[in-house]
A and B are shown apart, each in its own frame.
Chain A
Amino acid sequence: MIELAEVYKGFTVRDRKTRQKKRIEAVRGVSFSVHPGEIYGLLGPNGAGKSTTLRLIAGLMQAERGLIRVGGFDAGREPEAARACVGYLSGDLNVYGRFTPREFLRLFGQFQGMQARVAEGRALALLERLGLLDFMDVRMEGFSTGQKQKVSVARALLHDPRVVVFDEPTTGLDVLTAKTVLDLLRELRAEGRAVIVSTHVMPMVEDICDRVGILFDGVLYGDAPLDQLLAARHARNLDEVFFQLAGEA
């Protein structure tokens, strides 16, 4: 469902002191795949290339080299078709504050090619699942971070995507809201969707992820089921694996 083969992505930045252009390799030869009914946890320190990898999968960025296939589509050649299969959520994303959740989701459903009526029906179901039904006709500008994140989750899942890409979905959320999101991820897995999640929260990965990949400086380490990873590293938990790999990297 998600397939990355030898993917490279870099950026050119300007050093503010020397005014020289500098090349940053954000993703270096990353290969892995996520199958239907699987949650893949992508770990790594800040700046390791997690968000870039997820943006490449979501079709927001183009890889410089390598192949990315999402839902059977080549994300480089058919970005729109690939994006149509993906439900993308990131902590950076926000909602339109002047809209109510109902209006916002109906509009995004239309952006995803759904009929307004169909989109609204699906939106209501998702809002009910996320416990936001009472707020569906309230303008979102006064919403809390958790409420906004729930609406964003509904937005990402509105078009019934086969591939779910969540970039740090629980950052800034309280325990209850985070649990709602995690439960939803489990449901998505049960429904046979391919889910990839990036996070810093190790217990969350141990709790819900089937496979784990750890990125350091754009290079992927690990990429194995959690129990295999722990066994291969003689580690008691993911934290230990993480620190071992950090030392090697």
Chain B
Amino acid sequence: MNGALLVCKKEFLELSKDRRTVFFTFLLPLVLYPLLFAMVGGLSRTDEANRQGRASRVVLVDPGGVLTSALKAEPESFELVAPPAGDLRQAIRDQRLEMKIQVEADAPLKLSRHRTFTVTAACDPSEEASGLALTRLRKILEKQNRRWVEERLRLAGVSPELDRPSRLETQEMGDLGLKVGRTLGAFLPYLLMLMMFAGSMQHGIYATAGEKERGTLLSLLSTRLPRHQIIWGKLLYVFAVGLLSAFINLLSMGVSIGSVVRAGAEGQAMSAGSLADLARPSTLGLTFLLMAPLGLLFANFIVMMGIRARNSVEAGTSIMPGMVVVLVMAVFSMAPGLEKLAFLPYVPILNVSLAIRKLFSQQGNAFEFWVALLMTLGLAAVMTWLSTRLLNRETSVFTV
């Protein structure tokens, strides 16, 4: 095992000498995601604040004056402007105003006779500002309608609750912590798999096909190190880089989207217990326990393909389909209702996703967990054996 550790150390030393690769693999994600999220979040917040903070400019044609006072009473929502010169449609498109409101001329008469009058709103909902003006108008009309109905009922000497026989009150029994857990459980395996595979792929190619290409593999093979220790060292390296890469990416992403989740959590019920369950060391530990053999399986696949390939390009093109398979399976694993499929615990990779999903939604199933773990471990062991055999094949090392 000492030889394997030495080979792994050599790979890490070699990696550490390439500052650019170290930066792009381990440091850039730490900077990139927070920057990206901060930039996008900042822009969207500024835009939202601009839209929400500005009154919608509307042209109001209300000969009877039934809505004028209501709109004027909310200056933060509506700014009454003069009709534009020229085409109204173009004026909305040019963002000179958001909407034109036309109230029927005989609205006061219809109102007094307890009949319905029409309010026509000319707007372009595809423009966000125009859509917001429409929402604001709907709200104000709803309030105004309620007031008129209550007035009519009062005049008729009837209870104002006549038109409201029942009222629905909802009590939120769910827990935001659990909700977050379910969402996280669905996305986490996908992200982990993808990052582990993508993060280790290039390093695996460099350490295998790259060594062959550069003519350094033979130097390594000519030492007294047993072949299996050389391959284990390379596996350990690819595996460790994959895990590190996934961890760093997730950490950075987690920190970046943490603020978004926190903002969404405001005012919602989230028990301290379920949040603690999410971050419970056992949940995280069991997730790691499941992901580790999967990472080893990926590392084995990459190393095996890398050793079999004659050069880096060939290695890259033969590993890529494997990445697509992982990607498709990972996307499939996010599908809702997937956990109901009875055969799923026996499908490699997918069973790991399912088990992690259940861990995070606090529906952990010991049988499914062990099946996923043992199956992935078994596959990783078989792949390790195959990789070792492959390195022992002279045709894998020498071009005849």
- With CB as the reference atom, state the residue of chain B lying closest to A10: B400
How many contacts A-B (CB < 8 Å)? 72
Q: Does A112 interact with chain B (Cβ within 8 Å)?
A: yes
Chain B CB within 8 A of A80 CB: yes
Interface size on B, residues (CB 8 A): 26
A62's nearest neighbour on chain B, judged by CB, is B394
Which listed residue, B10, B216, B224, B400, touches A84 by the CB 8 Å rule? Answer: B224
A241 at the interface (CB under 8 A from B): no
15 pairs, A vs B, C-beta closer than 8 Å? A11-B395, A11-B400, A13-B400, A24-B400, A59-B222, A80-B226, A86-B222, A92-B218, A93-B222, A94-B219, A99-B13, A107-B10, A110-B6, A112-B224, A155-B219
Interface class of chain B by DSSP: helix
B residues apposed to A, CB below 8 Å: 3, 6-7, 9-10, 13-14, 17-18, 214-216, 218-226, 394-395, 397-398, 400
Asked if residues A111 and B214 are in contact (CB atoms below 8 Å), the reply is no
Is there a chain B Cβ closer than 8 Å to A88's Cβ?
A: yes
- Expressed in whole angstroms, the minimum distance between the Cβ of A239 and any Cβ of chain B is 30
Q: List chain B residues, Cβ under 8 A from A113.
A: 224
Q: Mark A55-77, 1 if CB is under 8 A from B, else 0.
A: 10011111000000000000000
Residues of B within 8 A of A81 (CB): 224
Of A92, A155, A159, the residue contacting B215 (CB under 8 A) is: A92
Rounded to whole Å, the gap between the CB of A141 and the closest CB of chain B is 9
Task: Please name all residues of chain B whose beta carbon is closer than 8 Å to the beta carbon of A84 when the two chains form the complex.
Answer: 224
Q: How distant is the Cα of A24 from the Cα of B394 in the complex, in angstroms?
A: 14
**Chain A, range 130-159, C-beta contacts under 8 Å to B:** 139, 152, 155-156, 159
Task: Fill in one digit per residue for A92-107: 1 if any B CB lies within 8 Å of its CB, else 0.
Answer: 1111111100010001
B25 to chain A, nearest CB (A): 15
Q: Which residues from B are CB-within-8-Å of A55?
A: 398
Q: Does A90 contact B (CB under 8 A)?
A: yes
Binding site for B on A (CB under 8 A): 11, 13, 24, 55, 58-62, 80-81, 83-84, 86, 88, 90, 92-99, 103, 107-108, 110-113, 139, 152, 155-156, 159
Q: Contact check, A111 vs B215: say whether CB atoms are below 8 A apart.
A: no
Pick the contact of B225: A58, A93, A111 (CB < 8 A).
A111
In Å, the complex CA distance between A112 and B215 comes to 19
Cβ of A111 and Cβ of B223 under 8 Å apart?
A: yes
Contacts of A103 in B (CB 8 A): 13
A96 — which chain B residues lie within 8 A by C-beta?
Answer: 10, 14, 216
Q: What residues of B have a CB within 8 angstroms of the CB of A90 in the complex? A: 218
Contact B18 A98 (CB under 8 A): yes
Q: What's the minimum C-beta distance from B132 to chain A, rounded to whole angstroms?
A: 58
Closest residue on chain A to residue B7 by CB atoms: A111
- Contacts beyond the supplied A60-B222, A98-B14: 14 A-B pairs with Cβ under 8 Å: A11-B400, A24-B400, A59-B222, A80-B225, A84-B224, A86-B222, A97-B214, A99-B13, A99-B14, A111-B223, A111-B225, A112-B224, A139-B17, A159-B224
Residue of A nearest to B394 (CB): A61
Q: In the bound complex, do residue B224 and residue A80 qualify as a contact, i.e. CB atoms below 8 Å apart?
A: yes
